Structure 1
């Protein structure tokens, strides 16, 4: 959330005042060599590249609106392939809140083409600029450059003007490589910002203190000048690689090279210092004070009546929680909107029958409190929103409900019809949340503390002499594993699901598939089915080469890159237990058996165990894969890759059966 800059009330700034303006950003002239460039040497796969990405940010002041933040941008992009043509369009998002909004001004653009050995310039016209409303709080300005083709260079410049307390993040890494990046940020001495680095890179800004000031007219029409010091920080980076998509990376933006400016305090007159949220406790208190959050905690008369009936019908806390959760799910459908603040309020959402995350889960909080349950909202930053690495009002974009139960917390989310106590949509499991009580006091909550996702798999099968395999599979899904299965089954018929299971398992036939416990949302699901594999082994005369894990073999390492510059993120911790019992065909004996192994990830993040035994004509194999952490630092990548290499090698190792003479 962005906050409007407060009007300056001190006498020296009562007139029409303006800070010193930045000079127009200028770039070197486009050259023929740049237009003739076919491939970027640093990244031959790049569809386009930023030749230049330049920005200057400074403060202005107007009597009618107070301080404004001005951003001047100039960017130049070289189109290298047909896929790169998409980058000839620039989209600029502008935030708005009530009557205050950000503006885009002074848009200019040029497309450069090489025609018969000469540089041709085509200027951007007004018909290439579009404005539209994206949502209640966001407008979009779109720039579409003219006469663009493979080989073109496009260049645009624009200015944004914001009345809000937010310096936009400095984005030093894009989805395209950047040849040269430069930014200058000028902040007046009465503003104090915290600067933090996101992503894995090193940068030290060039800093200086310069004189700044404003001219103004006082109440008597006299011209005066107020001076102050200005902190100037200049950031330079060259040959910045593109941000690449990588496996097991939920949100690459979390690790995009960026500099974040967070306002700590303002001091417009000596001794009159105002501090902003500098700790998570202060952030939580600030959020709780908002009418769209803490102001929603008073129940309506109709909700009190609902609570009274629940108390009469349900005696234990567990029963009241189940009843309240079911009631809210049945009355309000989630409209897909995130946010920690309500749009229209919980009462309107209840009447309408639909609402955003905050309206649904704050309503659940209020209802539980009326039932005598100690319930409080829990602020969360979802996986896609990112990992809040420092105290900030923008760190949270979601709210669930927390109920204290002894030393633990029961978490609830009524936005999903398959959720249950301590079984929430996977989007919310992102390290820690912050529970806020009625007084605005908060405490950190470990979101993984009460979940234990587990999948137990049992196979009983017969291997026939002709190489076919038939048997029974039973699987037990617990916690989030069951939650995800409920969603999958809900979207299709049992017949379709049965067909998909045959494909998933890589078998020729699945029959008699049954699912038990699917209706009881807090319970595990047990799946049972019969399967047939027409040819499940490799054979040569007198020998059979068998993979004893059958369709539960990990045959390929998902981590293929030699290097990785971002961490590895799994959705949630889990435990997978696999047991296969295989009856061997008569007349065959085991000639070679894999050795058992036990391997571990560094930092106690996980482990893998493999063991195999045989007795008579029965072969038994067991694996246990336990992932205790969801975040693997990038400097553990080589160890992680080797862990999976060893796991794949072991799981693909064959049992050799020899026919008896």
Structure 2
């Protein structure tokens, strides 16, 4: 991710002697400029399987003085799309334009036009949108939208719309996505900022190269009118001059962004540009810091009535119940575990997103339910009530994307947990899942880091997936029974997160359905019985899964037998020939499989797989498959070890080959031949 400031680009622009776009920039695309040859292509090289192709998506934001004594943002957009088949109609022919609203002040949608073009008998027929069909929808307290559907659409139609948004919210300088689920032939965005006044942080993201990446400077004037305070007061107007910076970016032949296996969220790698207002400079001596520092960010949240302020009240109404909850605890660790278990087991999380208190902590306590903010901030309050050092920690879940570690951007966070100090050790806790053990977090929260909300030390707490190791050991021992059948036991000591998944899905129940599913995965006809799962209710411990098996070769002349049974890796998780994005596994892995069985009476080993051991990039991982015949028995040890969870795109080919080998080797069979 590349981060820079627009104001810092000005010296670079002058050094490169860039030509001012204010003088020479001409629009490459004009609304309504559609030609018959635009309908000729039926397939586009950027994505030959696309249902639609965006021919052009061009946006621009400029500042303009307004009649409220301030500035407005003027955002314009032109988008032209070719509909190649009916599958594109729902996604592309219905348009929604979001508008921000705060109280009675809403962004204004102006100058909207939408037209459908069809080629009929060699002539272009245009069908305009009836603006009466534009309707309003309220999405939330701060967002509304305008929606419309293009008329007279057909396979092969070209649809085009343009609009302007007049916004008084100059802190909400619009971001721009160059990439999306539909391929684009041209995606362009430009901003012109009065740099003497406004200072923005610009964050770039993505892997695609820019066809245009330029900056120019000029000096512009802004006419501002200040309304009179009373009915008899006159409005005053003045002209403000400022140096301006104009930045322009464009990417051509933009492929669609598609989901991949083992990735936090594909949105982390979407090619886009974001803006965040850092400060406003009214004069050399009058500067208003908007973004501030992490210390200021944390201090604001500590004082916020919907976040930190209720945590400092003592919350004596918790005391009696907590006293009963910690009864019998002989150490601080036991006391902390009991407090966590009390909140975790007695409160229901309705929404696993959000970090603000929805009403009050006492109300959430009385209702025994709330969102993440209610429950985990209640946990913080409970620990403080009992004399522990506890603080909230904000984070962004894996499916929400990365939160900035450099800039205090509140909108990037969507979750809060509790950090508590017990003796000399800190624990991160989430009380929203009644299957989590003390000191454990769900996998979705391991997304680089969390930010402690403490005005004295708003530190980062690492939450890297590389810090997690999921270790699993499976042992299968088979003997020849009295009935001449092979009888054996299967025991699997699961890793913590596989155990959590099993707990969240109700364990194995009575075992009947569990064994039926296992039997479907067996390559031989086998009887399974006595299924059990240990430690299901001991949430801090891994689960052991056990069952017994019984089978025979039924006198067949040749028997093909896979000793991996249900534990073989059947499919390579990395099917694509290439990948542009990192592989982000949820944890490091270490899986060991041990198998031992006698050669059945009346049979001999005709073919035995060969042993193998391979490394992944020398130190990144290892796979071994060691099999041997010793006297009248067969022993196998198979182990997959991944020493890191995140692999760069440059390692993808090697990782893919590694798992191809694993799938191939674990799929090999022993061939038994009747004597």
- Structure 1 residue corresponding to 2:668, chosen from 644, 647, 653: 653
1:627 aligns with 2:642: yes
1:134 aligns with 2:139: yes
When structure 1 is superposed on structure 2, of 484-493 and 627-636 the one drifting more is 484-493
When structure 1 is superposed on structure 2, of 564-573 and 346-355 the one drifting more is 346-355
- Structure 1 residue corresponding to 2:548, chosen from 506, 516, 530: 530
- List aligned pairs for 1:308-319, cutoff 5 A: 308-319=323-334
Match of 1:193 in 2: 200
Deviations 1:479-501 (A, max 9, x none): 22211111122697754344333
1-structure distance, mates of 2:428, 2:575: 37
1-structure distance, mates of 2:413, 2:165: 25
2-structure distance, mates of 1:138, 1:313: 51
Deviations 1:169-198 (A, max 9, x none): 221111111011121111121112222321
Match of 2:178 in 1: 172
Deviation at 1:207, TM superposition (A): 0.9
Q: 1:53 to 1:377 in 2, by over 3 A?
A: same
Match of 2:82 in 1: 78
2-structure distance, mates of 1:341, 1:184: 35
Deviation at 1:101, TM superposition (A): 5.0
Q: 1:168 to 1:611 in 2, by over 3 A?
A: farther
2-structure distance, mates of 1:350, 1:212: 57
Q: 1:222 to 1:375 in 2, by over 3 A?
A: closer
Q: 1:275 to 1:27 in 2, by over 3 A?
A: same
1:416 aligns with 2:422: no
Match of 2:9 in 1: none
Match of 2:50 in 1: 46
Q: 1:311 to 1:651 in 2, by over 3 A?
A: closer
Deviation at 1:367, TM superposition (A): 0.5
- Structure 1 residue corresponding to 2:159, chosen from 151, 154, 165: 154
Deviations 1:10-50 (A, max 9, x none): xxxxxxxxxx9x99983361222223432223321101010
- Structure 2 residue corresponding to 1:366, chosen from 363, 381, 384: 381
Secondary structure of the equivalent of 2:399?
Answer: coil
2-structure distance, mates of 1:45, 1:531: 48
When structure 1 is superposed on structure 2, of 304-313 and 293-302 the one drifting more is 304-313
- Structure 1 residue corresponding to 2:500, chosen from 483, 502, 512: 483
Q: 1:107 to 1:321 in 2, by over 3 A?
A: farther
- Structure 2 residue corresponding to 1:582, chosen from 597, 602, 621: 597
- Structure 2 residue corresponding to 1:513, chosen from 526, 531, 541: 531
1:345 aligns with 2:360: yes
Where in structure 1 are there 5+ consecutive unaligned residues? 1-19
Deviations 1:571-609 (A, max 9, x none): 223322211222221243445443433333338443323
Q: 1:309 to 1:654 in 2, by over 3 A?
A: closer
2-structure distance, mates of 1:260, 1:516: 50
2-structure distance, mates of 1:560, 1:529: 33
* RMSD (Å) for aligned C-alpha atoms: 3.2
Deviation at 1:161, TM superposition (A): 4.1
Deviation at 1:549, TM superposition (A): 1.5
Match of 1:89 in 2: 94
When structure 1 is superposed on structure 2, of 452-461 and 255-264 the one drifting more is 452-461
Aligned 8 A contact 1:68 1:161 in 2: yes
Match of 1:239 in 2: 253
Q: 1:305 to 1:448 in 2, by over 3 A?
A: farther
Deviation at 1:228, TM superposition (A): 0.6
Aligned 8 A contact 2:295 2:455 in 1: no
1-structure distance, mates of 2:133, 2:514: 48
- List aligned pairs for 1:463-482, cutoff 5 A: 471-482=488-499
Aligned 8 A contact 1:51 1:179 in 2: yes
Secondary structure of the equivalent of 1:528?
Answer: strand
Deviation at 1:467, TM superposition (A): 13
- List aligned pairs for 1:497-646, cutoff 5 A: 497-504=514-521, 509-531=527-549, 541=557, 543-602=558-617, 604-646=619-661
2-structure distance, mates of 1:161, 1:505: 64
Q: 1:364 to 1:102 in 2, by over 3 A?
A: farther
Q: 1:638 to 1:246 in 2, by over 3 A?
A: same
Match of 2:419 in 1: 402
- List aligned pairs for 1:272-283, cutoff 5 A: 272-277=286-291, 283=297
Aligned 8 A contact 1:589 1:617 in 2: no
2-structure distance, mates of 1:449, 1:564: 21
Q: 1:194 to 1:564 in 2, by over 3 A?
A: same
2-structure distance, mates of 1:67, 1:586: 90
- Structure 2 residue corresponding to 1:29, chosen from 26, 30, 33: 33
1:123 aligns with 2:141: no
Match of 1:13 in 2: none
Match of 1:211 in 2: 219
Deviation at 1:66, TM superposition (A): 4.1
Deviations 1:515-544 (A, max 9, x none): 22111211221111234568799x7x5x54
Matched length? 636
Aligned 8 A contact 1:432 1:444 in 2: yes
Match of 2:263 in 1: 249
Secondary structure of the equivalent of 2:475?
Answer: strand
Secondary structure of the equivalent of 1:205?
Answer: strand
Aligned 8 A contact 2:559 2:671 in 1: yes
1:56 aligns with 2:63: no
Match of 1:3 in 2: none
Deviation at 1:403, TM superposition (A): 2.0
Deviation at 1:232, TM superposition (A): 0.5
Q: 1:158 to 1:421 in 2, by over 3 A?
A: farther
Aligned 8 A contact 1:340 1:358 in 2: yes
Deviation at 1:455, TM superposition (A): 2.2
Match of 1:380 in 2: 395
Q: 1:40 to 1:447 in 2, by over 3 A?
A: closer
Q: 1:42 to 1:226 in 2, by over 3 A?
A: closer
Give TM-score, length-normalised by structure 1: 0.87
Where in structure 2 are there 5+ consecutive unaligned residues? 1-21, 229-233
Q: 1:312 to 1:658 in 2, by over 3 A?
A: closer
Aligned 8 A contact 1:75 1:155 in 2: yes
Deviation at 1:456, TM superposition (A): 1.9
Aligned 8 A contact 1:199 1:255 in 2: yes
Aligned 8 A contact 1:478 1:523 in 2: no
Match of 1:224 in 2: 238
2-structure distance, mates of 1:480, 1:196: 34
